[in-house]
């Protein structure tokens, strides 16, 4: 058994079932091993940013890591933005990065680069295997590290891959359970919640499931605390039957206003909220000065445990949660805009769908309108690096193969990783993409206005850098070029018809929704 085979075998024995690949010469022995080891599904992506985003989306849905296979430093660089997103979302990921043979590095060949240096910027754990005998153990350790909600990057030199490994595979590992929270911390939270001061319970992290939301609602009602989710938790259950919980607003001004009365902010799997960006005359921290930010549970601690303990200690067991009813907006008619798209999607969204949201400003209709739609999961962009949505939809479809994936995409953000469409076609993934084709980087028009430069109106050069409509992009043609069926919607009626048909289909399809920007 060579090193590559023992690596793959150890991954499989540790429950890693999918490998998103874009190999090169230094990975050819790993590629050969794919046919020697049973139990791993190999998914080719045409660009590495697709495969790292797919791994992030897979992890969010499957609750375990996929592996990636990347070609040297440049392949890792191409994957970096979506690895960053996974890292910021505390999502598990195992990256395998091929390298030159160990003895070849000193020759500084054209593709030699500082892989450890690149990997270190976006990984919790980086390790370069030293010999074929080590690689099985190294792979098991990578899965363990990933299992802590981390990005683990294992560098696989070509000679480690092709060399003989008499040790064979290492024993498979299980993902670690979340860590127990000490009672003392729960007690401190209880005393804060009973202090009589204004409190907020903020929940976040990898996943906020429906049960957790309901528990949080009951706890909040029992003790009079407000409840809130992070702005962008990686995954959150929403829709009819889920608890009524606010979301911390994205815009700094609104977020600051949202928490301005709070004196105790209790964080459950959430980080202390901060402004996405800095602005002159706005604070970096969202909570008011003097607010006590108390971490009840970190993202890797047992959130069910602390919620159950709070339910008990705050006598909330018999409190009824506030729950969203099933209320569908009417199907829209007439002009198509982002609110009409939102109403249509909310009306037609099937039960148990997964919404992948990279609609940026254009999700402004869909997000509020779906809160009383059929129950669904919503995946957010956790690290702010654009180009995550289409890849995440690839991964979500593989991580939850029985569910309909609805991907909301801006036209600008779609173009970072448009190659995702090809993998959707190849794997016949159950993904419906809505492109909000507004021919602008609308979020940047808003941000430009906030600078106050030129009275908030861009000059001609600045305007040109915010305009993705010269020439207009034709996403129907782009989809066709990669084997995905697509249609264009210019009225609400067309959108309704196309989205309804998409909900009936099981393969990939794309709707190019021609909408004005939300600012207009």
Window 113-142: residues binding a copy of itself (CB under 8 A): 113-114, 117-118, 120-122
Subset of 399-418 contacting a copy of itself (CB under 8 A) = 412, 415-416, 418
Binding of a copy of itself by 107 (CB under 8 A): yes
| One of 125, 367, 378, 422 touching a copy of itself (CB under 8 A) | 422
Which of the ranges 215-223, 290-298, 312-320, 451-459 carries the binding residues for a copy of itself, by CB under 8 A? 451-459
Sheet containing 353-358: order of strands:
235-238, 376-380, 353-358, 405-410, 431-437, 509-514, 485-489
Residue (219 or 518) nearer to a copy of itself, CB: 518
| One of 75, 204, 220, 365 touching a copy of itself (CB under 8 A) | 75
Binding of a copy of itself by 25 (CB under 8 A): yes
Binding of a copy of itself by 470 (CB under 8 A): yes
Residue (194 or 271) nearer to a copy of itself, CB: 271
Which residue, 24, 42, 23, 32, is CA-closest to 2? 32
| One of 58, 378, 475, 499 touching a copy of itself (CB under 8 A) | 475
Which residue, 363, 328, 325, is CA-closest to 500? 328
* Beta carbons within 8 Å of 435's beta carbon, 6+ residues apart: 409, 410, 411, 414, 475, 510, 511, 512, 513
Binding of a copy of itself by 31 (CB under 8 A): yes
Per DSSP, the residues of 46-78 read SSHHHHHHHHHHHHHHHSS--EEEEEHHHHHHH
Per DSSP, the residues of 424-488 read HHHTT--EEEEEEE-SB-HHHHHHHHHHTGGGG---HHHHHHTB--SSPP-HHHHHHHTT-EEEE
**Residue 215 tokens, joined:** 């528990």
Binding of a copy of itself by 20 (CB under 8 A): no
Binding of a copy of itself by 93 (CB under 8 A): no
| One of 166, 196, 334, 459 touching a copy of itself (CB under 8 A) | 459
Binding of a copy of itself by 450 (CB under 8 A): yes
Subset of 274-293 contacting a copy of itself (CB under 8 A) = 274-278, 280, 284-285
| One of 39, 171, 401, 483 touching a copy of itself (CB under 8 A) | 483
First-to-last C-alpha distance (Å) of the chain: 62
Which residue, 401, 297, 405, 312, is CA-closest to 357? 405
Shortest CB 179 distance to a copy of itself, Å = 21
CB 475 within 8 A of CB 512: yes
Residue (378 or 448) nearer to a copy of itself, CB: 448
Which of the ranges 105-113, 166-174, 341-349, 497-505 carries the binding residues for a copy of itself, by CB under 8 A? 105-113
Binding of a copy of itself by 58 (CB under 8 A): no
Binding of a copy of itself by 195 (CB under 8 A): no
Shortest CB 267 distance to a copy of itself, Å = 14
User: How far is 414 from 303, CA to CA, in rounded Å?
Assistant: 34
Which residue, 245, 241, 224, 223, is CA-closest to 233? 245
Binding-site size, a copy of itself (CB under 8 A)? 103
Subset of 206-245 contacting a copy of itself (CB under 8 A) = 232
| One of 62, 94, 142, 158 touching a copy of itself (CB under 8 A) | 158
User: How far is 181 from 201, CA to CA, in rounded Å?
Assistant: 16
Residue (84 or 218) nearer to a copy of itself, CB: 84
User: How far is 381 from 56, CA to CA, in rounded Å?
Assistant: 10
């Amino acid at each position: 058994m060579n090193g590559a085979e023992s690596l793959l075998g150890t991954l499989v024995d540790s429950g890693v079932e999918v490998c998103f690949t874009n190999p090169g010469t230094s990975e050819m022995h790993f590629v050969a091993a794919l046919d020697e080891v049973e139990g791993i599904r190999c998914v080719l992506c045409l660009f590495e940013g697709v495969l790292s985003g797919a791994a992030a989306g897979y992890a969010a849905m499957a609750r375990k890591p996929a592996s990636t296979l990347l070609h040297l430093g440049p392949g890792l660089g191409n994957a970096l933005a979506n690895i960053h997103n996974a890292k910021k979302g505390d999502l598990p990921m195992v990256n395998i990065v091929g390298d030159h043979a160990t003895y070849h590095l000193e020759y500084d060949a054209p593709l030699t680069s500082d892989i450890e240096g690149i990997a270190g910027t976006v990984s919790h754990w980086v390790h370069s295997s030293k010999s074929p005998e080590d690689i099985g153990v190294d792979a098991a350790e990578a899965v363990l590290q990933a299992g802590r909600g981390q990005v683990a990057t294992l560098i696989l030199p070509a000679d480690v891959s092709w060399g003989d490994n008499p040790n064979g595979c290492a024993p498979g590992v299980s993902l670690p359970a979340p860590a127990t929270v000490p009672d003392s911390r729960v007690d401190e939270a209880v005393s804060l919640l009973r202090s009589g001061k204004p409190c907020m319970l903020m929940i976040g992290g990898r996943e906020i499931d429906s049960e957790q939301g309901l528990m949080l609602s009951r706890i909040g009602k029992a003790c009079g605390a407000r409840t809130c989710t992070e702005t962008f938790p990686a995954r959150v259950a929403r829709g009819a039957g889920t608890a009524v919980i606010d979301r911390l607003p994205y815009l700094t001004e609104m977020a600051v206003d949202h928490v301005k009365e709070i004196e105790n902010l209790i964080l459950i799997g959430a980080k202390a909220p901060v402004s996405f960006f800095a602005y002159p005359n706005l604070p970096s921290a969202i909570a008011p000065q003097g607010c006590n930010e108390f971490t009840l549970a970190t993202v890797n601690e047992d959130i069910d445990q602390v919620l159950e303990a709070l339910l008990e200690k705050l006598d909330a067991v018999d409190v009824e949660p506030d729950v969203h009813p099933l209320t569908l907006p009417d199907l829209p008619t007439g002009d198509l805009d982002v609110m009409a798209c939102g109403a249509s999607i909310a009306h037609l969204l099937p039960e148990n769908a997964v919404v992948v949201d990279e609609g940026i400003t254009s999700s402004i209709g869909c997000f509020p309108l779906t809160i009383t739609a059929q129950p669904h999961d919503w995946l957010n962009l956790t690290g702010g690096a654009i180009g995550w949505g289409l890849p995440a939809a690839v991964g979500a479809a593989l991580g939850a193969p029985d569910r309909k994936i609805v991907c909301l995409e801006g036209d600008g953000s779609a173009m970072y990783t448009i190659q995702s469409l090809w993998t959707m076609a190849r794997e016949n993934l159950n993904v419906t993409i809505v492109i909000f084709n507004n021919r602008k980087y609308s979020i940047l028009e808003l941000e430009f206005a906030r600078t106050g430069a030129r009275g908030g109106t861009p000059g001609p050069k600045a305007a040109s850098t915010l305009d993705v409509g010269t020439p207009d992009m034709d996403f129907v043609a782009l989809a066709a070029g990669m084997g995905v069926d697509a249609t264009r919607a210019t009225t609400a009626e067309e959108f309704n018809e196309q989205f309804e048909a998409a909900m009936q289909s099981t393969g990939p399809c794309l709707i190019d929704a021609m909408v004005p920007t939300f600012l207009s």
